[in-house]
Structure 1
Amino acid sequence: MMSTRVSKQQRSVLIIVENLPVPLDRRVWIEARTLSAAGYQVIVCCPRSDKHPEPYEFLENVHIYRHPYPTEGVGLWGYLVEYSSALFWQFLLAFRILFKHGFDVIQACNPPDTIFIVGGFFKYVFGKKFIFDHHDLSPELYEAKFQKKGPLHKILLKLERLTFRTADVVISTNDSFRRIAETRGSVPSDRIFIVRSGPDLNRFRLEAPVESWKKGRKHMVSYLGVMNDQDGIDYLLEAVSHIVKERKRDDVQFVLMGSGPELENLQKMAVDLGVDDYVTFTGWVNDQVIVPVLNTAEVAVCPDPYNTLNDKLTMNKVMEYMALGKPIVQYDLTESRYSAGDAAVYAKRNSAVDLGDRILDLLDDPETRAAMGQLGRRRIETVLAWEHQAPVLLSAYEALGWPSGISVAEGKRQTDPIA
């Protein structure tokens, strides 16, 4: 195969992500395409999956190298095995990519907070730059998942600090993450850039509803996202049970798009609650399903419960709902409220009953639904869409002393006239 090493004039970026394969990871994929469009050569190192089993692909001018997916760890030794396996493959592919393509910077996308070991090695041995793209809060994720702190929590905090210390530049997904970079990471503010996971409006187009998704019912509510135990789908199913059994409503169909470790358990829970006829689980789907379903839904729901993790996360699904003009029902979380504002109604924290009641309130009020949907769409168009985030991403790279081929005069700091 012909070598694709870049010229001295073109900078090359290696993006390492362990959590999801590319292009399935929507944030990493849009970042990769943005950097490529700006004149960088972009190579991504990520895990394989059933949907993307190919060890190598060249898609939309981006090189993608995939390694075997490490077994998901449980407990200290399980995590050591998982992270060690991932690090082995990341080092192996990084060396292969270095000699085949060359790269000038590694952009590490967590979780986990171990990729800095690869980035630090190439930084201190080969003089490469290292950017930390802060996607998730590993210490808070551990606390939310296991309801405790303990020794492993302390290790995760240490790994996070080492990642911040190694980084030349930090990309934060929101203001909560920026504050953590400044406080826990002691990162100077001029080295932190807030790049929100804004939706690409070329993907989320307004279309006519597809009535068949409603299964003959009058109304439809939709969910889009991962199905882990911390994502609150159990709260949503309990809300469905409340709507059907306590509120005596048989006119609402729920379409839940996505997959994850809890999918089978959630399907069983719907059967046990006696609401499986009212709930459609699609599994993992692409835009050919996501866009028609969201255009058909009258209300979208974000059931992520309040905890120290979710309160600080920007939920991609919230902004994707807004991109298609959907009013949202969610719990009152700091960053979710920042994203949605008046485009959402906020249920009492972690109350499945109130979540269900708020859903019915919106379904029975079409004028409010329409107004909220318009507010959300406008907020995406004017502030949060990816076109407003891309200049900030390019500014983060310019902070390394590398001007891109795109004007980023407005990108040094993101402003939000609506906040």
Structure 2
Amino acid sequence: MRDFTDKHIVIIIEDMPAPLDRRVWQEAIALKEKGSSVSIICPKMKGYNKSYEVIDGIKIYRHPIPFEAERAVGFLLEYSTALLFEFALLVKIYLKQKINVIQGCTPPDLMFLPVLPFKLFGVKYVFDHHDLNPELYLSKFNKKGFFYQLLKLFEKMNFRTADFSIAMNSSYKNIAIERGKMNPENVSIVRSGPDLERLKICKENMKYKNDKKFLVGYLGVISKQDGVDLLMKIIRLVLDRRDDVQFAIIGGGLELENIKDIAAKLKIKNDVTFYGMVKDNNLLSEIISTCDICVNPDEYNEFNDTCTSVKIMEYMALKKAVVQFDLKEGRYSAQKAALYAENGSLHDFADKICYLLDQKMLREEMAEFGYQRVVKELSWQNEKMKYLNFYSKVFSNRN
């Protein structure tokens, strides 16, 4: 494997701070363990407000993010502001230590802009393709027009600028090759597998069930496209049928307070415990280990259908059966570890939850299948070698 020890990699993320972004943090740790210098540029967020800190030997530079856009014009303003901060921080970092590779993570597809000047100095650009931004736009605004076409142009330019690309799954790799016109040899699939050293199955703690028989869990970021508003309606449907279920919502985000308001309006707030962002891995593992099943409420759209949901594999790593809508990549990840609700049907989703709660043997069989799939195929311990092999190729300059 190519020598990593004299290399400096800068990873840029715009939508989430480090080390909260688990995929990026796992990548950074993997590079650091091989001897590389690693810096991360990311936004500030509640709980992650330091402009600079070093964690586990990784240098983290954070910049302000004024707001989460809701309109197309707002996205351009949000991203433009972030790009200016990112470019300034790249200059600051480069003046301190030469950069060998910049890894830009979407969204947005504008990461190539602050990178371009550095390519003149021989810096390689790796496009880490987290999100399909044209499809994400459609999921939020449900229309194709000027801004949709603009996003497709940005995506094309991002691919054209990249020397190499990391795809989240086979759907993303096909898009990199077909839509981005990238050389297939320069595109590698590295999935966002759960870290089995971080997530460990614990003895269940009944206090999380709030004197109920069952606990249903959700783990993830709470933003507009994550379907947590739909989950609140699904919970209402479940509670209309039975009163023996408590729900645990683990995660933070700009929509958290809005989701709490929805829960209050639906009169379910006593049946739903909001834990917010849980940084303690032991606490997180304990809550999910106590759950009887877990849910992924991502609704069907072109974006979600091709997106690999990390939460599904984290549920599986903690031996939990899953209920989700029938999405292409979600089905690939979970396979027999999930029940699949009819897309668009909140009633069917609620039916699947109730059915699975009443089928203990089936839950256990599904959970065991999911756990073995993660251990043997999907864990970060498996994906890490793919990531490091990818970087060996980047360092060897085989373009």
Class of the TM-score when normalised by the shorter of the 2 chains:
over 0.9
Residue of structure 2 aligned with 1:22, choices 11, 15, 18: 18
Normalising by the residue count of structure 1, what TM-score does the alignment of the two structures yield? 0.91
Match runs of 1:143-182 below 5 Å:
143-182=138-177
Q: Which residue of 2 aligns with 1:4?
A: none
Match runs of 1:134-149 below 5 Å:
134-149=129-144
Distance 1:397 1:362 in 2: 42
Question: CA offset at residue 319 of structure 1?
Answer: 0.3
Residue of structure 1 aligned with 2:63, choices 50, 64, 67: 67
SS of equivalent to 2:225: coil
Question: CA offset at residue 149 of structure 1?
Answer: 1.6
Deviation string for 1:133-178 (max 9, x for gaps)? 0001111111000111211111110000000011111000111111
Distance 1:70 1:239 in 2: 32
Q: Which residue of 2 aligns with 1:217?
A: 212
Question: CA offset at residue 71 of structure 1?
Answer: 2.7
* 1:268 is aligned to 2:261: yes
Residue of structure 2 aligned with 1:51, choices 27, 38, 47: 47
Match runs of 1:305-316 below 5 Å:
305-316=299-310
Counterpart of 1:140 in structure 2: which amino acid? Answer: E
Deviation string for 1:53-73 (max 9, x for gaps)? 111111111111111124333
Normalising by the residue count of structure 2, what TM-score does the alignment of the two structures yield? 0.96
Counterpart of 1:283 in structure 2: which amino acid? Answer: G
> In 2, are the aligned partners of 1:238 and 1:353 still within 8 Å (CA)?
no
Distance 1:22 1:402 in 2: 28
Deviation string for 1:165-208 (max 9, x for gaps)? 11111000111111110111011111110000000000111110
| Equivalent pairs, count | 394
* 1:96 is aligned to 2:89: no
Q: Which residue of 2 aligns with 1:395?
A: 389
Residue of structure 1 aligned with 2:367, choices 362, 373, 389: 373
Match runs of 1:11-410 below 5 Å:
11-123=7-119, 125-245=120-240, 247=241, 249-286=242-279, 287-402=281-396
Deviation string for 1:299-338 (max 9, x for gaps)? 0000111011100000010000000000000000000000
Alignment RMSD (CA, Å): 1.5
Counterpart of 1:202 in structure 2: which amino acid? Answer: E
Distance 2:70 2:273 in 1: 30
Counterpart of 2:171 in structure 1: which amino acid? Answer: S
Distance 1:90 1:167 in 2: 17
> In 1, are the aligned partners of 2:223 and 2:254 still within 8 Å (CA)?
yes
Distance 1:29 1:281 in 2: 25
**Structure 2 runs not aligned, ≥5 long:** none
Distance 1:391 1:118 in 2: 29
Distance 2:71 2:349 in 1: 33
Counterpart of 1:335 in structure 2: which amino acid? Answer: E
SS of equivalent to 1:274: coil
> In 2, are the aligned partners of 1:235 and 1:351 still within 8 Å (CA)?
no
> In 1, are the aligned partners of 2:159 and 2:176 still within 8 Å (CA)?
yes
> In 1, are the aligned partners of 2:5 and 2:35 still within 8 Å (CA)?
no
